[in-house]
Chains A and B, each alone.
Chain A
Amino acid sequence: MKISYNWLNELVPTHLDIDEFCEKLTMFGLEVEEVVQLGKNLENIVIGKVVSVEKHPNADKLSLCKVDVGNSEPLSIICGAPNVVKDILVPVAMIGAKLGDFEIKKAKLRGVESFGMICSENELGVSDEHSGIMIIKQDIEPGTPFADAMGINDNIIEVDVTPNRPDLLGMIGVAREVAVMLNTEYEHPEITFEESEVKTKDEISVIIEDSEKCPRYCARMVHGITVKPSPSWMQRKLIASGLRPINNIVDVTNYVLLEYGQPLHAFDYTKIKDKTIAVRTAKDKEKMMLLDDTELKLHSDNLLITDAEHPLALAGIMGGLDSSINDNTKDVIIECAYFDPRNIRASALEYGLQTDSSYRFERGMDPNSLIEVIDRAAQLMQLTGGGEISSGVVDCYPHKIEPKVLPLRVSRANSILNAKMSADEVENYLNKFEFATKKTSEDTFEVTIPTFRPDIEREIDIIEELARCYGYNNVESYFWINRIDNKQKRTVARLAKNHLISLGFFEVNNMSFASPDDLDALNISDDDFRRKVVELANPIGEQFSTMRSTLIPDLLKNTALNLSYKFENFKLFELNRIYLKEREDTFAEPTYLTGVIVGEFYPFYWKEEQRATSFYDVKGVVESILSKIHCTKNITYKVSNQPYYEKNSKADIFLDEKKIGSCGIIKDDVLKSFEIKAPVLLFDIDLSRIIPLYNEKDIRFKEIVKYPPVLRDIAVIAPSDIEVGTIEKLIKSVGPNIIKDVQLFDVYTGKQIKQGCRSLAFNITFQSETSTLTDKYVDKLFDNIVNKLLREHQIELRQE
């Protein structure tokens, strides 16, 4: 439904700017899909009068026009439209005008110059009409800006009307709704006219043969009307609402359709045989010619409007050709009827005829507003075309459709909305909707639902209307979730566990108790934080006298046990709390993730030599856990001084310079204390420090870089005491945005390499996000790397 904001303001002044109004309307349940500002791009478009039309000398389909645009000389414009003729008024886009992205310039068409363009309605964005140029039927001075002439300074609000609300398919219904929304009043059009002596019922008789398919049919007569263009105010509103002005009679039916939502039809009185209108179903195979020149072959489910002999219209869908209004029509019958929505839907579907009329009838019109609507149409026809209106309406309404009366409990509404509306408030809202109310008790009303609201069928439907008035945003939100849920910890723990399991680890579950001897067995010094143990006052035994302050001893005990069962190569982990005494009466319970790799990391495979496990195996496990839980930034590794690791095989893990764990190979004497006769790698991570940083929402898609990466290898001879991490960092620092990756791929020490040095080879990936890298540029960066390595660490390029 297209709503002209100007028109709406005539009916109900909103006092709101367009954006504010649309926001409110949407929140009230009428969803605004689009707002089109008319007249926005109509600069340099003026009204022109075509003063002459000649054939283009070199093109059959083009015309050479002279157009008066108010200047001393008419413009020469070439036009391709078939409907251009002398003496019409047309919109002219002058040089400099913009139609969408297209700017009008002086042009030469087949050798003849053209100084502008005569536009169609479609080109101007006025309507979809594009079969020819727009012909302006009002009397307007050439040169007048088009937007002013047409009054196109309006906002057109496209509202998505849900199928249950046929009442919103007319401006008056919208105004009613807006008035409720703004708690104000709206205006009905004032309908007054004089009737002649002639009685309508003497001129025409109406017979409804099928009152189920047509419960009500009204007719009125206007005599001696002049068919001509309708006044500009009416044309403006039609155009704004997306309809094309035709002549005053057709325009009035369309105008009233827009105003009330109720479709009307006008017949030429002289073409009605025997002055009789019958509403009946078609005979099988009865034929009828529609307005749009299509012939229908009908059957007995189709409802027709006929005269004594022939079909006049396919009821509620489209008129027939024979009885249609033409320029010579003088006497008009106005039809205003209520048809069964189901029948209209079926017939419209059957013949593929979706018209403005069928669209509305199939949603259900108001049978009880027909008199007002038909009077309005008569009034406007007389206003626009003169003539005399016969007295009275022929109203065929065999069984009156009564409005529904529904009970409403205020308490019920309040309990559904968790609101505290008073009975008075509720009554006020209902009356604004034009629902009549009768209070039957403190809490209850009898509500009369007007027939223009077929959607209201039960108490709950009324409550929905009250909810909109109360405001969905005013309903209190009852908040359930996400105050204390440990989702973050749960997620990190599950990710880490699942990851370890796919690496072949088994999870263990040890009790929280420990013996103080366990710490001694790990060589843990007296000032280590793990010595701040929590002691039990009533332990169940000496070996259970404290709460464990590390998970390591239990894992080593589990290792010894399983080795005794002849398992040789296995991996275990535990994810659980440790307990620390912080101060006299405060305790900490951080969560640790600790694991061991016993024997060989990779299971024996007949096809390959068994590979010796090394420190880098456990470091790889740690790195992969950390990336699984999104903890890779600001992680560094430094040589560890934990007392239970082998000398050259241990690292501490740092997050932002804070130690969060360690990994390494367990020392022999520690293994001996735990009676373990196999190599054991261990990692021990304080998860509590990582959990708060985890954010599953930190994964954001990045557009794939369009430019190809360039790969280069670099082999260097570096002093052995310089760490690979240092060299990698240094290489990256040469082009932080271009050097995407540095990967170590070879380490070699041997005869060819000088004493105290090692040969290192790296794979460097260069890639720009903004352009393709040239070899020259990569060469330059590569040289910079070589120079920097030499300058800062005396690292030399390896000579082949």
Chain B
Amino acid sequence: MKEQIQEILEEARRSIPSCESDKDIEELRIKYLGKKSSLSDLMSKIGTVPKEERPQMGALLNKAKKEIAQLIEQKKVVLHEKEDTSRARGLDVTMPGRPLTIGAKHPLYQIWEEIEDIFINLGFEVAEGPEIESEYYNFDALNTPSWHPARNPQDTFYLKEGKLLRTQTSPMQIRVMEKFKPPIKIISTGRCYRVDKMDPSHLPVFHQVEALLVDEGVTMSDLKGALDSFVKRIFSADTLSRFRPHFFPFTEPSAEIDILCINCNGKGCKLCKNSGWLEMGGAGMVDPAVLEEVGYDSEKYTGYAFGLGIERIAMLRYGISDIRKLVTNDLRILMQFQ
């Protein structure tokens, strides 16, 4: 019986690779593996084999069957591949499909929307205000001393009529507080202007987001918490931030906000000028004088404010080192932000 099995197997090995069509292969499948095949016939006669040889014969038969089945499958694949390429005369799947263009939002506005959404999710309202402002809202109401250099025409754009282009989005905070009683929880976003020559880190037109929260019992912890939540969401969950004492006319105490350099993780690099920290913006507890100016009881209410540059955040997020790239509107740049 052993010889018979071997014989069948040899024959199959010869005949299967030489068939030409699905039909041939199916005939061979019936011949070798079908119910009336010689292998099946042998299988049914296994009882005639001496008892001690039976397991060995069974194993041989199964092995032969398996090999033949495998040969048939392989041959089928080969046949189909042939057929596919011949059938594909009308189709080339590598040719481009109908081009449907998609554009992109400007990277700065992508970040702006993201920032707005973070604050909206934190329960802030978004307040917009005029860019052409009065000196009162931009400086006086914000407790800016008359001698403060920011008021100079070397720093601030003035109109011929005497108004100015806001240098920060803070005037909107005054406008909101004038109109509404606490609690106040807003961000003001938008364009701001400062007299600056255009260079890799300055533009005369830039965008800011400022947050303001005024309520009973607001503490510096609330400020730090809000800022931490923000930087962790806009950069990454492990971004560290720190407060550095500073001076702003409308906050007391005031601080500058730094985040641990996202490029070198604090080790020091070109981006952070080897300091390990990146400056992000200003913050502080709203000066009681500002609250009094809008008629709030500064004993009852406290508040915090902080401001961040949107360009700065966009540059850090995308790794843009020259701020002017954000206003060139070169498609070679814009197309990267699809």
Contact = CB atoms under 8 A, between A and B. Distances in A.
A481 B127 contact: no
A397 interface: no
Interface in B77-128: 95-96, 98-106, 108-109, 113, 116, 123, 125-128
A482 B158 contact: no
A483 B335 CA distance: 38
Nearest to A512: B205
B191 interface: yes
A561 to B, nearest CB: 7
B204 A511 contact: yes
A506 B104 CA distance: 5
Interface string A493-526: 0100100111111111111110000000000000
Contact of B158 (A483, A484, A536, A571): A536
Contact of A565 (B102, B125, B205, B331): B331
Nearest to A508: B329
B123 A481 contact: yes
Contacts of B95: 606
Interface in A464-503: 478, 480-487, 489-490, 494, 497, 500-503
Contacts of A497: 105, 109
A570 B329 CA distance: 13
Interface string A522-560: 000000000000111111100010010000000000100
A585 B123 CA distance: 36
A480 B123 contact: yes
A442 B29 CA distance: 99
Given A506-B103, A507-B106, A587 B132 contact: yes
Contact-residue bracket for chain A: 35 or more
B159 A537 contact: yes
Most buried by B among A478, A500, A587, A607: A587
A604 B100 CA distance: 10
Contacts of B203: 511
A506 B131 contact: no
Nearest to B334: A506
B24 to A, nearest CB: 39
A507 B331 CA distance: 10
Contact of A501 (B105, B183, B326): B105
B197 interface: yes
A538 B335 contact: no
A280 interface: no
Contact of B332 (A510, A513, A565): A565
B295 interface: no
A535 B161 CA distance: 9
Nearest to B104: A506
Contacts of A607: 98
A605 B99 CA distance: 7
Contacts of A500: 103
B205 A513 contact: yes
Nearest to A584: B161
Interface in B173-195: 176, 179-180, 183, 185-186, 191, 193, 195
A490 B131 CA distance: 17
Contacts of A513: 204-205
B205 A494 contact: no
Interface in B311-338: 326-332, 334-335
Contact-residue bracket for chain B: 35 or more
Nearest to B155: A538
A512 B105 contact: no
A589 interface: yes
B329 A561 contact: yes
A224 interface: no
A536 B160 contact: yes
Nearest to A479: B183
B99 A512 contact: no
A579 interface: yes
Contacts of A570: 331
B125 A534 contact: no
B153 interface: yes
Contacts of B196: 540
B204 A587 contact: no
A599 B105 CA distance: 21
A489 B330 CA distance: 27
Most buried by A among B102, B103, B176: B103
B106 A485 contact: no
Contacts of A489: 128
A509 B126 contact: no
B104 A565 contact: no
B130 interface: yes
A484 B326 CA distance: 29
Nearest to B191: A512
Contacts of A540: 195-197, 204
Nearest to B152: A538
Contacts of B158: 536-538
A589 B193 CA distance: 15
Given A484-B186, A504-B103, A587-B132, A544 B330 contact: no
B106 A567 contact: no
Nearest to B96: A606
A542 to B, nearest CB: 14
B163 interface: yes
A604 B99 contact: yes
A485 B103 contact: no
Given A490-B126, A538-B195, A480 B185 contact: yes
A502 B104 CA distance: 8
Given A480-B123, A512-B131, A571-B103, A536 B157 contact: yes
Contact of B102 (A494, A502, A536): A502
B330 A579 contact: no
B127 A485 contact: yes
A579 B131 contact: yes
A176 interface: no
Contact of B330 (A562, A584, A605): A562
A186 to B, nearest CB: 42
A570 B131 CA distance: 31
Contacts of B98: 605, 607
Contacts of A577: 131, 191
Contacts of A510: 327, 329
A735 interface: no
Interface string A601-617: 00111110000000000
Most buried by A among B161, B186, B205, B326: B161
B99 A538 contact: no
A572 interface: yes
Nearest to B126: A486
Given A513-B204, A534-B132, A565-B331, A508 B106 contact: yes
B40 to A, nearest CB: 55
Given A511-B327, A604-B99, A605-B99, A486 B108 contact: no
B127 A507 contact: no
Contacts of A501: 102-105
Contacts of B116: 490
B35 to A, nearest CB: 52
B183 A478 contact: yes
A506 B338 CA distance: 9
Nearest to A538: B153
A504 B332 contact: no
Contact of A505 (B103, B157, B326, B329): B103
Nearest to A569: B101
Contacts of B327: 509-511
Q: What 3 A-B pairs come out closest when comparing CB atoms?
A: A504-B101, A485-B125, A508-B329
14 contacts: A484-B127, A490-B126, A494-B113, A502-B102, A503-B101, A506-B106, A534-B159, A537-B157, A538-B157, A562-B330, A577-B191, A585-B163, A603-B101, A606-B96
Given A500-B103, A513-B204, A604-B99, 7 more contacts: A508-B106, A511-B203, A534-B159, A538-B158, A538-B195, A540-B196, A585-B161
Interface of A: 478, 480-487, 489-490, 494, 497, 500-513, 534-540, 544, 547, 558, 561-562, 565, 567, 570-572, 577, 579, 581, 584-585, 587, 589, 603-607
